[in-house]
């Protein structure tokens, strides 16, 4: 039996191909807003970081109505670092809308999310988006998508997927690549015709797989998933079990409150039936991958284990001379609670206590982006801590030490191909292919994950800001050999105090500075970068000595080069192995692990730093 009044669909794509913008238009044309209601762009990107960066970090559920059919839509992230979100979301839908940019074509994340959808046997609606771009190449992109489907061993039915041509920004869709369309009706019609209604047995015992978790300070964890069979009522007794722990007996619980998704809101309900995507609160220790079922028939559903993290950083209590001045949460207990709370929502994150320190925690994730988002979120909440440089996680496979390899696609103007190939070659990159795309070149490499640390800034410099770089985890492969982490040294403050123009003027001859005058500094703090491969100690607090022969204003005015402003990602990429990043709600400060110059030199001679 199928519930014909329902369709469950996920929107998947590479980053910045227009998923959230298309969902905006689907909501507007699906009658979710009143006629005179004020709306905001990218309404699904609800947290501040998502809106600032223009990316989706967390998958979100919404629903629209078309011809009396409720279409549950899941907007998924495009960044490879949030792939754990996409993998599990696909378990609660019956089909996917694959968005592909009309100019860029299929990119690494397109391949990743499409392969996951095809493995689950989902039907795919291919949407070529941004057809109004002046550099669009619709017909070539259609061929590239078909090649990708063939490459991923799609079935005959999946190869015959319907193709639509959209402009998400204008809210138009058409069946023909040469027509603009007037609204999204072709997309809604295709969803109703092609995406199967969820199969359901309303009389069978209740069963639901938890695919996502939300967290609320008042009710705790909220389980989100699709009801596979049966129905559930409010305050009904339930059992919780897990496919991967068959030895543990099912845990008893109660469905305290139930919600369905209605537009942008959660609507409380007292009853929900098979096929619906619902949210349920009342189970304290629920986790992603658990099965909620009837106590009379506790049968767990198999769940794909989330891919293991490939990158790790150490978060520790801030022990700099400025510790505790700017943050609200500064103790190891507060840091520990916050990090472990994050694992309740992010399944691809692993947190463990560092074996060699009592106030440090190893946090492993999918990539630098996911960890930098966590750091930025915590500092906005008032946490003060310090982090180590990122390091890759190795695995021993058949007795061989293996490291994670990334598939890297660089889309660059033809003039800069040589610079990109040279830099990635030096980082142990293996060249795979090169294809012309209009006046640009699309280069593909297989590069060790550690070879990409610190490369993105260099890439933007080498391509004059015109290049597009995307990467996704490919596989583990035998260790490729040493890679130089950084070709520059640091300018390190010699003493504590406040930076002054006279000291900075002398220091800027050694390299580029990160600070201007009037900034508090401490011994061992990194205040700039020097072009040589060695650290140089500078005294930025040095004042001009005044005598009866010289007045302070007698020399010409000292001109300082404006300091280089570093973002959080740039700071993480800059870090050398013997450095840390001090993170507070107000400042990001780079520093040496060992602050005292003499101790640092002794440790270096002894091989400890």
Nearest to 591 by CA among 312, 455, 387: 387
Residue 316 pLDDT: 92
Nearest to 211 by CA among 72, 396, 372: 72
Question: b or e along 378-391 (b: 16 or more beta carbons within 10 Å of the residue's beta carbon)?
Answer: bbeeebbbbbbbbb
Superfamily of segment(s) 311-385: Elongation Factor G (Translational Gtpase), domain 3 (3.30.70.870)
Residue 158 pLDDT: 80
Higher pLDDT: 11 or 86? It is 11
pLDDT in tens, 318-350: 999 998 888 898 898 999 998 988 887 777 788
Judged against a pLDDT cut of 50, whether residue 50 lies above it is answered with no
Give the pLDDT mean for 359-373.
Answer: 84
Residue pair 76/89 in contact by the 8 Å Cβ criterion: yes
In whole angstroms, give the CA distance from residue 504 to residue 515.
9
Residue 550 pLDDT: 55
At residue 44 the predicted structure's pLDDT band, cuts being 50, 70 and 90, is very low
Residue 562 is given by DSSP the state P
10 Å Cβ neighbour count for 328? 10
In whole angstroms, give the CA distance from residue 20 to residue 35.
21
In whole angstroms, give the CA distance from residue 469 to residue 462.
12
Provide the β-strand partners of residue 265: 262
Q: What class, spelled out in words, does domain 207-293 have in CATH? A: mainly beta
Judged against a pLDDT cut of 80, whether residue 252 lies above it is answered with yes
List where CATH 2.40.50.250 sits in the chain.
Answer: 489-605
Residue 549 pLDDT: 55
Residue 412 pLDDT: 85
Residue 46 pLDDT: 41
Nearest to 470 by CA among 12, 10, 11, 17: 17
Judged against a pLDDT cut of 80, whether residue 308 lies above it is answered with no
pLDDT in tens, 124-183: 888 888 888 887 888 888 888 888 888 888 888 888 888 888 887 788 888 888 777 788
pLDDT in tens, 501-527: 888 888 888 888 998 888 999 999 999
Residue 546 pLDDT: 63
Paired tokens of 157:
């039915």
In whole angstroms, give the CA distance from residue 133 to residue 392.
38
List where CATH 2.40.30.10 sits in the chain.
Answer: 207-293
Please give the CATH number for the structural domain made up of 489-605. Answer: 2.40.50.250
Q: What percent of the chain has pLDDT over 70?
A: 87
Residue 591 pLDDT: 92
List where CATH 3.40.50.300 sits in the chain.
Answer: 6-194
At residue 116 the predicted structure's pLDDT band, cuts being 50, 70 and 90, is confident
At residue 540 the predicted structure's pLDDT band, cuts being 50, 70 and 90, is confident
Region class of 90: left (phi > 0), else alpha (psi between -120 and 50), else beta: alpha
Helix (H) / strand (E) element for 120: namely none
In whole angstroms, give the CA distance from residue 25 to residue 42.
9
Residue pair 260/280 in contact by the 8 Å Cβ criterion: no
Residue 23: strand, helix, or coil: helix
Residue 450 pLDDT: 86
**Mean pLDDT (the chain, rounded):** 80
In whole angstroms, give the CA distance from residue 312 to residue 484.
19
Paired tokens of 486:
């950084």
In whole angstroms, give the CA distance from residue 519 to residue 498.
5
Residue 552 pLDDT: 53
Judged against a pLDDT cut of 80, whether residue 55 lies above it is answered with no
Residue 581 pLDDT: 92
Residue pair 9/96 in contact by the 8 Å Cβ criterion: yes
Q: What class, spelled out in words, does domain 6-194 have in CATH? A: alpha beta
Nearest to 347 by CA among 589, 61, 89: 89
> Hey, what CATH topology would domain 395-478 get?
Alpha-Beta Plaits (3.30.70)
Judged against a pLDDT cut of 80, whether residue 77 lies above it is answered with no
Judged against a pLDDT cut of 80, whether residue 302 lies above it is answered with no
Higher pLDDT: 35 or 418? It is 418
CA atoms within 13 A on the CB side of 531: 4
Of 74-83, 214-223, 371-380, least confident by mean pLDDT is: 74-83
């Amino acid at each position: 039996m199928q519930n014909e009044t329902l369709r469950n669909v996920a929107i998947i794509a590479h980053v910045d191909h227009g998923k959230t913008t298309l969902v905006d238009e689907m909501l507007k044309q699906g009658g979710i807003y009143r006629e005179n209601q004020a709306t905001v762009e990218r309404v699904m990107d609800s947290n501040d970081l998502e809106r600032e960066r223009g990316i989706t970090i967390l998958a979100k559920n919404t629903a629209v109505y078309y011809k009396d059919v409720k279409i549950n839509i899941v907007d998924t992230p495009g960044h490879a670092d949030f792939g754990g979100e996409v993998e599990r979301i696909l378990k609660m839908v019956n089909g996917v809308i694959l968005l592909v940019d009309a100019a860029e074509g299929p990119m690494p994340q397109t391949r990743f999310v499409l392969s996951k959808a095809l493995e689950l046997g989902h039907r795919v609606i291919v949407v070529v988006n941004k057809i109004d771009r002046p550099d669009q190449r619709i017909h070539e992109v259609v061929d590239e998508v078909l090649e990708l489907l063939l490459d991923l061993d799609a079935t005959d039915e999946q190869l015959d997927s319907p193709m639509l041509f959209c402009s998400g920004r204008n809210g138009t869709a058409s069946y023909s690549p040469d027509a603009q369309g007037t609204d999204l009706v072709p997309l809604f019609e295709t969803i109703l015709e092609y995406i199967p209604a969820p199969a359901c047995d309303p009389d069978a015992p209740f069963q639901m797989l938890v695919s996502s978790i939300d967290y609320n300070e008042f009710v705790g964890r909220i389980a989100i998933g699709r009801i596979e069979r049966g129905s559930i009522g409010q305050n009904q007794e339930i059992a919780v079990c897990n496919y991967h722990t068959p030895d543990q007996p099912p845990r008893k619980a109660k469905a305290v409150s139930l919600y369905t998704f209605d537009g942008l809101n959660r609507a409380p309900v007292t009853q929900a039936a098979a096929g619906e995507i619902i949210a349920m609160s009342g189970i304290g220790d629920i986790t992603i991958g658990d099965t909620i079922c009837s106590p009379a028939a506790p049968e767990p559903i198999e769940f794909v284990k989330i891919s293991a993290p490939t990158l790790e950083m150490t978060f520790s209590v801030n022990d700099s001379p400025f510790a505790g001045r700017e943050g609200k949460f500064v103790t190891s207990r507060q840091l520990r609670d916050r990090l472990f709370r994050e694992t309740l929502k992010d399944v691809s994150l692993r947190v463990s206590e560092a074996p060699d320190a009592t106030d440090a925690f190893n946090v492993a994730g999918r990539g630098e982006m996911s960890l930098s988002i966590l750091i930025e979120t915590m500092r906005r909440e008032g946490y003060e801590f310090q982090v180590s440089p990122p390091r890759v996680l190795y695995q021993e496979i058949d007795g061989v030490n293996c490291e994670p390899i990334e598939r890297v696609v660089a889309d660059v103007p033809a003039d800069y191909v040589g610079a990109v190939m040279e830099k990635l070659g030096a980082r142990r990159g293996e060249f795979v292919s090169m294809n012309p795309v209009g006046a640009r070149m699309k280069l593909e490499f297989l590069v060790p994950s550690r070879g990409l640390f610190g490369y993105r800034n260099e890439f933007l410099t080498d391509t004059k800001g015109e290049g597009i770089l995307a990467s996704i985890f490919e596989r583990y492969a035998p260790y490729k050999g040493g890679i130089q982490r950084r070709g520059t040294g640091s300018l390190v403050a010699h003493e504590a105090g406040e930076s002054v123009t006279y000291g900075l003027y002398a220091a800027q001859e050694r390299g580029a500075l990160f600070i201007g005058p009037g900034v508090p500094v401490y011994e061992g703090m990194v205040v700039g970068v020097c072009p040589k491969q060695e650290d140089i100690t500078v005294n930025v607090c040095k004042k001009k000595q005044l005598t009866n022969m010289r007045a302070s204003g007698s020399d010409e005015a000292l001109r300082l080069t404006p300091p280089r402003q570093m973002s959080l990602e740039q700071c993480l990429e800059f870090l050398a192995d013997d450095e840390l990043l001090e993170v507070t709600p107000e400042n990001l400060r780079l520093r040496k692990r060992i602050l005292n110059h003499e101790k640092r030199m002794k440790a270096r001679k002894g091989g400890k730093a």
